Amino acid sequence: MKQYIWHPCTQMKDHEEFPLVMADRAEGIYIYDETGNAYMDIISSWWCNLLGHGNLRIKEAVKQQLDKMEHVMFAGFTHRPAEELCQRLAGLLPTGLEKFFFVDNGSTSVEVAMKMSFQYHHQTGAPEKQKFMTLANGYHGETLGVLSMGGMDFYAQMYKPLLLDAIHVEGPDCYQCPYGLDRDTCRGECIEMAENAFKEHGHETTAFLFEPMFQGAAGMRIYSPEYIKKLRKLCDVYNVNLIADEIAAGYGRTGRLFACEHAGITPDFMCLSKGLTGGFLPMALTVTTDKIYEAFYADFNDKKAFVHSTTYSGNPMACTAAIEVLNILEEEQILEHTEKEYLNKILRQALGAHKNVGEIRSIGLINAIELAEDRSTKKAFDPENRIGYQIYKEAMKRGLLLRPMGDVPYFNPPLNLTRQEADKAVDICTQSIEAVLGR
């Protein structure tokens, strides 16, 4: 049936020589095809299967909710699963984040934050604040608004004439730090670029959008929490809202429930999705403060309402899945018992000295392997050689789903990854890299 489907982020011609896998079922860390071959899903199917595939507790909770109500419009109605989820999250999020707006995907949650920020400043006496500032090489989704906020690269270059005129600030690059510092000991000196941008554009900027602790699609670029602390202070000085895109970083991926906890700051908006429902159903949240909310709370004829809607906003089955995710994280103490140190240790033992590994960086269970043509100079491979794609194909043949970002293979496994699974995944990853690049 492949003649009918156009798959995402895919050059379909590639599958003429490397056929698509017909997924039949999935359980735990494995996806099985129709002939019974197993593939270790070490990237949690684009980072959303927080507790692996087919978690029995989430499955049962969704089944029970299905018997009550599958969906109801979220204008004029509310329901218990949504109320409970927001109450639970309000007690877990950074202090002050307590107003929740439901949407159905991560891109939209970021666009909602952008629209809210713009309208907030318009309604609080600062209509000149119309521009957005963001970290270069970021990724926030692929609708036109958020695409404007990402790096002007593979995702966005084609659509540049359609995009907003955003201010892109060169952000942390700890792999090739221009200051010669180390992410573990620096004081976020690279905030200098943001300081200069704020001096020039702070008066006209409504919000600064960033991915806290690591830039995902840029190759899992991990950076210091000191940068985030200084960014929060800059936003306060210039009356700029801070939007934390935790779609990829939230829900324990960095070792903390929310990545902003590493810096001890509260953003003005936080966007959540992916791990929110454990990968069972699409849902996203834009979470903000009472201060922002109050700027919209008025009589109808004042025309201050936030007019935005999505059909599946607040879907009760998705809310129920999200509640059960929180139950599991709390009751089974998942974050307290991840194998993050073990996974990083065995990866470094296996590949840390490889001639083409420039760096292995990690935060939580996330591990990224920066490949380089020349390890000593950190010279990258020619992109046309598609080294990462070659490694991906080798790994699939051996039963491991790696999907490198460029030439950066990475691990972002379920939080309940076992040591035995980690050993097997690292072994296959090593074999695959050596098959392409030698020992």
Domains and CATH numbers, the chain: 12-54+337-437 (3.90.1150.10), 60-331 (3.40.640.10)
Place of tokens 């760096």: 359
Q: What is the pTM of this model?
A: 0.97
Per-residue pLDDT band for 2 (boundaries 50, 70, 90) equals: low
Average pLDDT over residues 254-270: 98
Average pLDDT over residues 276-290: 98
Nearest residue to 48 via CA among 375, 222, 223, 274: 274
CB 261 within 8 A of CB 286: no
- pLDDT value for 156: 82
The count of other CB atoms within 10 Å of the CB of residue 249 is: 28
Convert the pLDDT of each residue in 299-348 to its tens digit.
999 999 999 999 999 999 999 999 999 999 999 999 999 999 999 999 99
- pLDDT value for 157: 83
Q: Return phi, psi of residue 278, to 5°.
A: 70, 15
Per-residue pLDDT band for 129 (boundaries 50, 70, 90) equals: very high
Residue at 416: amino acid letter: N
Nearest residue to 49 via CA among 419, 415, 425, 308: 415
Place of tokens 């809202």: 241
Convert the pLDDT of each residue in 195-237 to its tens digit.
999 999 999 999 999 999 999 999 999 999 999 999 999 999 9
- pLDDT value for 80: 98
* Structure tokens that stand for 293 in this block: 């909310």
Nearest residue to 27 via CA among 69, 55, 67: 55
- pLDDT value for 150: 83
- pLDDT value for 351: 97
Average pLDDT over residues 342-363: 97
Average pLDDT over residues 9-14: 90
- pLDDT value for 278: 98
Average pLDDT over residues 188-201: 97
Contacts (Cβ under 8 Å, ≥6 apart) of 22 = 33, 34
Q: For helices 80-90 and 316-331, what crossing angle results, to 10°? A: 40
Convert the pLDDT of each residue in 374-406 to its tens digit.
999 999 999 999 999 999 999 999 999 999 999
- pLDDT value for 439: 84
- pLDDT value for 152: 58
Q: Return phi, psi of residue 139, to 5°.
A: -145, 125
Average pLDDT over residues 26-40: 97
The count of other CB atoms within 10 Å of the CB of residue 372 is: 19
pLDDT at 155 over 90: no
pLDDT at 1 over 60: no
Question: Residue 336 has what DSSP assignment?
Answer: G
pLDDT at 373 over 90: yes
Largest Cα separation within the chain, whole Å, is: 70
Average pLDDT over residues 160-178: 93
Convert the pLDDT of each residue in 399-428 to its tens digit.
999 999 999 999 999 999 999 999 999 999
What is the number of residues in the chain? 439
Chain mean pLDDT for the chain? 96
